[in-house]
Homo-oligomer: A and B are copies of this chain.
Amino acid sequence: MFESAELGHKISKEVWRKAIPALREGLLDAQLDLLQAKKFPVLILIGGVDGAGKGETVNILNEWMDPRHIQTHTFDEPTDEESERPLMWRYWRKLPPKGKIGIFFGSWYSAPIVDNVLGNIKNSEVDQKMERIIRFEKMLTDEGALILKFWLHLSKEQQKKRLKSLEKDPLTRWRVTGTDWDNFKKYDRFRCVSERALRQTSTGEAPWTIVEGTDPRYRYLTIGKAVLDALRHRLDAPVGAVHSATLPPTLTATDNLTILRCLDMKKKISKNDYEEELEKWQGRLNILSRHNEFRKHSVVAVFEGNDAAGKGGSIRRISQSLDARQYHIIPVAAPTEEERDQPYLWRFWRHLPRRGKLAVFDRSWYGRVLVERVEGFCSEADWMRGYSEINDFEEQLVRHKIVVVKFWLTITADEQLRRFKEREKISFKRFKITEDDWRNREKWDAYEQAVCDMIDRTSTEIAPWTLVEANDKYYARIKVLKTFCERIEKALGK
């Protein structure tokens, strides 16, 4: 989930200077419209890693908008008044009324996450608290509230850098305390706990937006634009379109840096190396699949990628190493009539493998948030809830000791064009290229955005995405095979 927030996003001074006046004007206008319409309240939740600029972000939002109609709330240890009431009382008291904006610094997420990191409460207790939060937020959105949740992230290295640089400057030294360094030691644990919390509470109605905190201009601009977009989206929604209009639109990276664009697409290996590696990993996979321990597990592999990125070839290199009775390849195309009459995930549930078996999905449930989203085959509300339904689904698989391995095979637009043309030329490959493929190419940008959102929202610690640079087929196949083996080995505890 944090991959996109570790790319080193940056906004230049120039871009910043150009963007700010319009953004501030837009925010003030939206705020005024909100105030006059008085139809719904806005809750902005700011959470995240220490040193990622949470406080400054809150300050700048107050600076950019009319602070008379924004209330900012922080939550430390409960006061006497508060601790004598049920837990949620302090938050209820501070809810903004219709027409106003409330900024919740840390919000209801801080305490359970920190308590869990420090080991004061157990996982099952955190789960209960998260469920309480989900019900609370559902009540709020049912009542019409617009909830915007931002998580400011720093990589471990960036957090260290940030704390050091604050310490060096005499003007900011006071801001770094011993506690900050103590917390830093728990970075990995914090990351793991917060990832879990974010995954559980990123609902269709109130999803999280993760923002890289390193560059101040980037984080301000990103959050400012996201707030503006969400406000306008909701304020300008036609009357009656309540349900989907409560959803903030997804985020486009303000600096055009995406996780896909950061890949080194030049990666390749030689034919000789390929053949050697292929033999090595195929052999390893074969041994793994016959391992005693493997009978207690199963594998669900997902292959997604650009058209012509080589999914089929990669899948074949896996299946070649396995006993044919042990695996099942499920090509996913348009749903059958029977499948259309069932909830979306039904057609994937039916193919789940038994113990000791592997199911390889050539395209998958991610169609919901890729092709269905981009082509408008389902409503915004449907694909937005898709992310949490998918995370929920995969969590059930992992809990059941299924190893979930997900690959996104990516090629550049140029390489795709080359392959399309080649396919048209070779008669036995012609069936592989259709009108649809050419049409999809025209929507390259929309698909790229959908892929980035998908990775941000569904690449989880328990079921991470592996991005595969696939301009070179040899390189791609080996990366797939190697990852595949390593994930299984890890699950078998080897």
List residues of A whose CB falls within 8 A of some B CB: 38, 41, 81, 84-89, 92-93, 95, 97-99, 124-125, 127-128, 131, 135, 139-140, 142-143, 145, 240, 243, 298, 338, 341-346, 349-350, 352, 354-355, 382, 385, 389, 392, 396-397, 399-400, 402
Q: A349-B93, A350-B92, A397-B86 are in contact. Are A143 and B355 (CB under 8 A)?
A: no
A443 to nearest B CB, angstroms? 26
A28 to chain B, nearest CB (A): 21
Q: Are A354 and B98 in contact (CB under 8 A)?
A: no
In angstroms, how far is the closest chain B Cβ from the Cβ of A414? Answer: 40
Asked whether A92 and B143 contact (CB < 8 A) given A99-B341, A341-B97, A342-B97, the answer is no
Q: Which B-chain residue is minimally distant from A91 (CB atoms)?
A: B349
The answer on a CB contact under 8 Å between B343 and A145 is yes
Q: In the complex, what distance in Å separates the CA atom of A243 from the CA atom of B241?
A: 11
How many copies, total?
A: 2
- A81: nearest chain-B partner, CB-CB: B354
| Pairs A–B under 8 Å by Cβ, sample size 28 | A41-B341, A84-B354, A84-B355, A85-B400, A86-B397, A86-B400, A88-B349, A89-B349, A93-B349, A93-B350, A95-B342, A95-B343, A97-B338, A97-B342, A98-B341, A98-B342, A124-B124, A127-B128, A127-B131, A131-B131, A139-B345, A139-B385, A140-B343, A142-B382, A142-B385, A145-B343, A240-B240, A243-B243
Q: Knowing that A85-B352, A86-B352, A86-B399 touch, tell me 4 more A-B residue pairs with CB under 8 angstroms.
A: A81-B354, A84-B298, A92-B346, A140-B343
| A344: B residues at CB distance < 8 A | 143
Knowing A243-B243, A343-B139 are in contact, say whether A354-B85 is a contact too (CB < 8 A): yes
A204 (CB) vs chain B CBs: closest residue: B142
Set of chain B residues within 8 Å of A93, measured between Cβ atoms: 349-350
Q: How far is the CA of A382 from the CA of B139 in the complex (A)?
A: 10
A240–B243 Cα gap in the complex (Å)? 11
**B87 in contact with A392 (CB, 8 Å):** no
- Rounded to whole angstroms, the CA-CA distance of A92 and B344 in the bound complex is 11
Residues in B whose Cβ lies below 8 Å from that of A85 = 352, 354, 400
